[in-house]
Amino acid sequence: MPETAQIEGYPIMNKDKVDQPTVYQIKMLGKLDESWSGWFSGMAITLDGDTTTLTGGVADQSALRGILTKLWDLNLVLISATRI
């Protein structure tokens, strides 16, 4: 059975999968085309009207923070960031 760790109020983390990226779906108001994918660590980019969605693996919380900072730098409005 894999070891798990839990901090009160946070979901259980499987220690056996710490080295695997977590998949996130990040939605923002604004339009980015697929040419931006490399700047966002190869995440898939999809458009739906005025909403752009980034989907892909994120190595850790620091990497997630870096992606969110890039959105901030581009003046895009964050709608949601969901771990899937």
pLDDT digits (tens, 9 = 90+) for 57-69: 999 999 999 999 9
Going from the N-terminus, what domains does the chain have, and what CATH number goes with each? 19-83 (3.30.70)
Binned at pLDDT 50, 70 and 90, residue 1 comes out as: very low
Query: What does the block give as tokens for 22?
Result: 């977590």
pLDDT at 34: 92
pLDDT in tens, 19-75: 678 999 999 999 999 999 999 989 999 999 999 999 999 999 999 999 999 999 999
